[in-house]
């Protein structure tokens, strides 16, 4: 299972260093179509939901609740505070906070690796799987609630000239290499693209 995740990571790293767009796309296709689905199937098959019904149900429920709530609050707070520090207004910072909540593949890979080495027990693995499911479901819902396309503020994002490659703390290697480029943020996709 960890091998699938590591293979995906290696292929993804290779695809970032390859200059041929066709070859890079083929590597990404293989990585996302074979290894990641296999990883999630293995994670799902290895999750023991019976841990909720065995032993001390209150203790297990408390552990799961603390892991889920603590992680959601800490991830939201870090995204929100970080966005405020670099100069985003409260609405934009709220969107950054909500969009930083999801935890999926890395969380599961670390949890299952720790379980296979005996560092954590099945209860924590189940809590991490629950965390992943809850955060992946809750974040898009919250984004759809809080995201209001506000055209008056989009001009601030659509085109912003960079002098040193940064604007408001956001950096792009291409912008650093080519000072004076235009940095664009595509709304709803949260992707930064650079135009020369």
pLDDT per residue as tens digits for the range 91-113: 889 999 999 999 888 888 888 88
Q: What is the pLDDT of residue 74?
A: 95
Residue 196 has pLDDT above 80, yes or no: no
Rounded Cα gap, residues 15 and 143, in angstroms: 30
| pLDDT score for 70 | 95
When pLDDT is cut at 50, 70 and 90, the band that residue 84 belongs to is very high
The pTM of this model reads 0.62
Q: What is the pLDDT of residue 97?
A: 92
2-17 and 21-30 helices, crossing angle to 10°: 170
Worst-scoring range by mean pLDDT, 13-22, 33-42, 171-180? 171-180
Sequence-distant (6+) residues with CB within 8 A of 185 are 157, 158, 191, 192
Alpha carbon distance 157, 168 (integer Å): 11
Residue with tokens 């032993």: 55
């Amino acid at each position: 299972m960890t091998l699938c995740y590591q293979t995906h990571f290696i292929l993804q790293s290779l695809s970032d260093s390859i200059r041929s767009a066709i070859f890079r796309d083929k590597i990404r296709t293989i990585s996302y179509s074979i290894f990641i689905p296999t990883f999630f199937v293995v994670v799902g098959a290895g999750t023991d939901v019976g841990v909720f019904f065995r032993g001390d149900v209150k203790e297990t429920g408390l552990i799961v609740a603390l892991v889920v709530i603590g992680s959601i609050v800490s991830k939201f707070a870090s995204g929100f505070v970080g966005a405020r520090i670099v100069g985003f207004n409260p609405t934009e910072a709220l969107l950054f906070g909500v969009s930083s909540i999801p935890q999926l593949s890395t969380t599961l890979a670390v949890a299952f690796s720790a379980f296979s080495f005996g560092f954590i027990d099945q209860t924590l693995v189940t809590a991490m799987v629950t965390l992943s499911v809850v955060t992946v479901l809750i974040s898009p819902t919250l984004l759809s609630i809080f995201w209001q396309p506000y055209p008056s503020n989009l001009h601030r994002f659509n085109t912003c000239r960079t002098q040193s490659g940064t604007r408001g703390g956001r950096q792009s290697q291409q912008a650093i290499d080519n000072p004076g480029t235009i940095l664009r943020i595509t709304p709803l996709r949260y992707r930064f693209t650079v135009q020369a």
